[in-house]
Structure 1
């Protein structure tokens, strides 16, 4: 089962909220549930779980994820594509920890990740370079870890 797509109003709502985590290049916003909330649990449900090939055993189909990567900050389409792929992988890697924190149960239905600053083209001349790939992965991991640590402390 495929997750429902985010609509323009969802992006407006999420980007209108205060960011929950930031790094040098990225900002993460939450998408709050509308109407009655159904709790998101960490126990696997065969009807909602991703298949075993994804390596995840937590229900993520209730969660929606959107990205905002403006062309003015990431000029090349290959760069935006790399960012999109890395963002989805980071969500998959960190969803179990976010769910385990118990802080985002019923009120949050998704996330919107926004690129707020460009990656330096002098430092990363190739948009598909391993160096850029590693830098983006590291920064996205830092972003999600900041969110998890911040919520664990509150």
Structure 2
């Protein structure tokens, strides 16, 4: 099953981790956890009333809980995909939508993905001299090839990082 990440809380949790794989234009982040339950999200959005000296009350938001509920207790099943394609790297909406479609298609074709939350982030723009059209077949093919390589690289087992000596 491949779902979509839609809540900002989930994006924040995944993007707080270092990238699992990078390519020239994309970065891939992974968190082996299910999406935050809706009860946890709604608890973060509760407001409290604060009295003002002028007599009226103003709604204030509670601080976001930096410690999410225990993730180890919930079994992780399926993949959830989120996409971050900022305007500063893809000015035209046609290009942003093309890249999002290619990301979804690359995940749909990938087999053997570890379960959890995945976020693909566009980290640098495609060269407009090389791809002048916002939705050209050349841009589509280049993005798909790069995303396929990125997902293959991410599925390789990661070597443990050496510990720093004191």
Task: Give the TM-score of the pair, scaled to structure 1.
Answer: 0.72
Q: How many Å apart are 1:31 and its aligned residue? A: 2.8
- Assess, with a 3 A threshold, how the Cα gap between structure 1 residues 93 and 35 changes in structure 2: closer, same or farther: same
Q: Classify the secondary structure of the residue corresponding to 2:112.
A: helix
1:51-70 to structure 2, matched below 5 A, reads 62-70=78-86
Contact 1:10 1:31 in 2 (8 A): no
2:112 is equivalent to residue 75 of structure 1:
no
Instruction: Please state which structure has a larger fraction of its residues in helix.
Output: 1
1:82-102 superposed Cα distances (whole Å, 9 cap, x missing partner): 0000000100111x232xxxx
Q: Classify the secondary structure of the residue corresponding to 1:125.
A: coil
In structure 1, what is the Cα distance between the partners aligned to 2:82 and 2:76? Answer: 21
Q: Which entry has the higher C-alpha Rg, 1 or 2?
A: 2
2:162 is equivalent to residue 146 of structure 1:
no
Q: How many Å apart are 1:4 and its aligned residue? A: 6.0
Q: Which of 84, 104, 108 pairs up with 2:100?
A: 84
> How many residue pairs get matched?
123
Q: Which of 108, 112, 130 pairs up with 1:97?
A: 112
1:93-149 superposed Cα distances (whole Å, 9 cap, x missing partner): 11x232xxxxx3xxx522000000000001000011110001000000010011123
Instruction: Please state which structure has a larger fraction of its residues in strand.
Output: 2
- Assess, with a 3 A threshold, how the Cα gap between structure 1 residues 4 and 126 changes in structure 2: closer, same or farther: closer
Gaps of 5+ in 2: 34-70, 161-166
Following TM superposition, the consecutive aligned residue runs of length 4 or more in structure 1 with deviations greater than 2 angstroms are: 1-6
Task: Give the TM-score of the pair, scaled to structure 2.
Answer: 0.67
CA RMSD of aligned residues (A): 2.1
2:23 is equivalent to residue 23 of structure 1:
yes
